[in-house]
Structures are given as structure tokens and as C-alpha cells.
Amino acid sequence: MKRQLKRLGYSYDWDREIATCDPSYYRWEQWLFLRMLEHDLVYRRKSIVNYCESCQTVLANEQVVDGSCWRCGESVVQKEQEGWFFRITKYAPELLEWCDKLTGWPEKVITMQRNWIGYSEGARILFEVEGRDIVIGVFTTRPDTLHGATFLSLAPEHPLCLKLSRGTRQEAKVREFINKVLTQDWASRVGEDAEKEGVFTGAYCINPLTGRRLPIFVANFVLYEYGTGRLWRFLHMISAISCLPGNMASTSWS
């Protein structure tokens, strides 16, 4: 790629190049990573990722076009994979506080930054599933509205969707709906004019406040990794550009 860029005659100052694939660069990246590991700022966990079987690589949401890989056109599958995560949520309140202290930035940029930090205060409410030994934890920023809750929705990626519908009359419908949503590209799922859709799983849970039965739905507008999904996308953006020369990488950041 560097050879190609040189042939194109761009006026880069190659003396100032930083190449992330160069050992003299990534040894410090690795050094820094180990310090973060020591301080419990990185951890491993499983997450659902977009995966292209033919390229054998994870794709960022932006690299999935109409359910297919941007590079080769193969259908993208959702795969559970173990990966490293930065515990940046630890700094969320501090980052948010500083958003208010920044002056001279357009409000649009500050809002984007706030959304990216994705910090929200709320409560985790536990719902028992009727007739089953299963409890569903739901995060909400509005626990005060619990009294009026009429249904509970799960993200299509949630393993409970299939488990709850198994053996009920809803099983086939749930399976079909999950496949449809998971092969949809991200933008059309979370975009502003995306249609909100859901399917009944066949199971009920109990409202802990009123004792009333609530039907459990699987719905496309519920995001499995609410709060951390953004972090995940951020990490894969890095992996997608880490082989480029430094100045190309910085172009992608701006």
C-alpha cells in the first residue's frame, strides 16, 4: 500500500511515518496493554460479532452492506467470539463531565461524543419467568415507569429468545424473526426510520412491582450490548486499520 501511495505521488512526509505494523511501534502498544492489564483496565469476554466465513475476519457494523461483507459479498453471520475489551466505562462519568467543560465545539460534536460515551444512570430490575427457573435482568433509565410496563422485550441476539420459545407455538415465528433481524445491516436496524418490529416468544414474566403477567417479546429495537456495543465497534475499527501506515490510520480517525 505504501508503494502504491508513493506511486500516486501524494506529498506525504515519509520521515514522519508511524506504521502500526512496525515492531518499534507495536512493542510500545504491547507494553501499554500489559500495564492496562495489570491495572484491570482490560478484560476478556464473549460477544456477538459480524463474521465473514470467506474472509475469516470480524467486520465492523459499517463493513456489513445489506447483510453481506463489503469486501467479498459473502453473507455475514453472527458469531459468538471471545475478545479483549477496554474497561473505558470506568471513565464514563469523568468523560461526560468534561464534555460540559469543553468550549468552542459545535453542539453536534459534543452530542456525538456524549452518545458515544453512552453512559446512563438507571437500575437493573429482575423479572422472573413464569413457570421457569429463569430470571431476566433489565436495565432501565426509568425504573419509575415499571408500574405501567405492559411487555418485556429481548434483543434477537439474546440466547433466551430461542430457549423461551422452544416447544411453544411461537417457536418457528421467533426463529424466522431472529434470522431476519440478524442478517439485516446495522444501519437499517438502528436507523431513524427503521420500523420497530417484535414477535411474542410464547413466554411470560412477572412484574416484580405489581405481580402482573407480562408477555416476553423479541424485538429488533433492543440492542444486546446496550452501553458496550459502541465500545465493541470502536475496537474493531482499530483492528480494521491497524495494518495501514500511520498517517493513513490518522486520516481514518479524523
Footprint of Zn ion (CB under 5 A): 52, 54-55, 69, 71-72, 74
CB of 236 to Zn ion, least distance (A): 14
Q: Which is nearer to Zn ion, 54 or 179 (CB)?
A: 54
Burial 172-193 (b: 16+ CB within 10 A, else e): ebbbebbeebbebbbeebeeee
CB of 55 to Zn ion, least distance (A): 3
| HEC profile of 22-84 | CHHHHHHHHHHHHHHHHCCCEEEEEEEEEEECCCCEEECHHHEECCEECCCCCECEEEEEEEE
Q: Which is nearer to Zn ion, 58 or 219 (CB)?
A: 58
CB of 155 to Zn ion, least distance (A): 25
Q: Which is nearer to Zn ion, 55 or 206 (CB)?
A: 55
CB of 208 to Zn ion, least distance (A): 45
- The Cα 232–Cα 46 span in angstroms is 11
CB of 50 to Zn ion, least distance (A): 10
Look up residue 73 and give its amino acid.
Answer: G
CB of 178 to Zn ion, least distance (A): 22
Residue 227 and residue 78 in contact, taking contact as beta carbons nearer than 8 Å: no
Q: Which is nearer to Zn ion, 69 or 174 (CB)?
A: 69
Q: Which is nearer to Zn ion, 34 or 72 (CB)?
A: 72
List alpha helices for the chain, DSSP H. 2-8, 23-38, 92-101, 107-117, 160-165, 171-182, 186-190, 229-241, 246-253
- The Cα 27–Cα 21 span in angstroms is 10
Residue 219 and residue 181 in contact, taking contact as beta carbons nearer than 8 Å: no
Q: Which is nearer to Zn ion, 111 or 239 (CB)?
A: 239
Cell of 248: 493513513
Residue 242 and residue 190 in contact, taking contact as beta carbons nearer than 8 Å: no
